[in-house]
Structure 1
Amino acid sequence: MKREYIAELPEGMLPTAAIFSALGDPVRQRILMLFEPGEALSIKDIAELFALSRTAVVHHLIVLERAGILAQRRAGKATLYSLRPEVVLEAVTAVRDYILEEFPGAAGGK
């Protein structure tokens, strides 16, 4: 048993934990799947596609933004969000690298 991680995660894994926590909600996963590469969507664009209140959509967008998964910018009165896929990829890669390092047989499906 590895006891060194009982107290806290290694410093490099903290952003990864926030990203996976944000991705743990199916609505947030569906929101991310709306984006085309390089596309920016408004709160209105997203809210119209879900049977959720604008307030609920804003809550989900804030969680994704705080995790670094979405970037926000203002365009006049609208708030636009764009996907930062590199952030998700870095988190997945960090977990993958940890698994491969700590469990060498995992790559072979054993």
Structure 2
Amino acid sequence: MSDSRGPVDIFKALADDTRSRIAMLIAREGELCVCELTAGLDLSQPKISRHLAQLRSNGLLADRRQGQWVFYRLHPQLLPWVITLLQGALAANVEWLAADVARLQAMADRPVRCC
């Protein structure tokens, strides 16, 4: 995150329920593609993509393309306090995210990662 977003930008990006769920699922799993997020959050692909774009534009996520898939992960230059915040939120809200995790784990035909 070379432009160092401030706390207000980060908190605004995470203030939405869907964006918080996306960020915490990615923090938990390490890397997810749009189809996995769609299955896990039980939301439409356009809605997921719109929220991913906002998280990416705020420097929270980075993406990589592998064939037909685009995988999202926490930005490698994410400030340490943001990583600590996400890890703490994830640990404190296991039940809040439980249904999303269960749907993700039940997903058939998850993409294979080469990296």
**What TM bracket, shorter-length normalisation?**
0.5 to 0.7
Label 1:14 to 1:46 Cα distance change in 2 as closer, same or farther (>3 A). Answer: closer
Matches within 5 A, 1:1-110: 15-36=6-27, 39-84=30-75, 86-87=78-79, 89=81
Give structure 2 stretches of 5+ with no counterpart. 86-115
TM-score by length of 1: 0.60
Q: Which of 1 and 2 has greater Rg?
A: 1
Higher helix share: 2
Same amino acid, percent of matched pairs: 30
Which structure has the higher relative contact order (CA within 8 Å, separation 6+)?
A: 2
Label 1:67 to 1:88 Cα distance change in 2 as closer, same or farther (>3 A). Answer: farther
Label 1:55 to 1:18 Cα distance change in 2 as closer, same or farther (>3 A). Answer: same
In angstroms, what is the RMSD of aligned CA positions?
3.0
Find the aligned partners of 2:73 and 2:25 in 1 and give their Cα distance: 10
Give structure 1 stretches of 5+ with no counterpart. 1-11, 94-110
TM-score by length of 2: 0.58
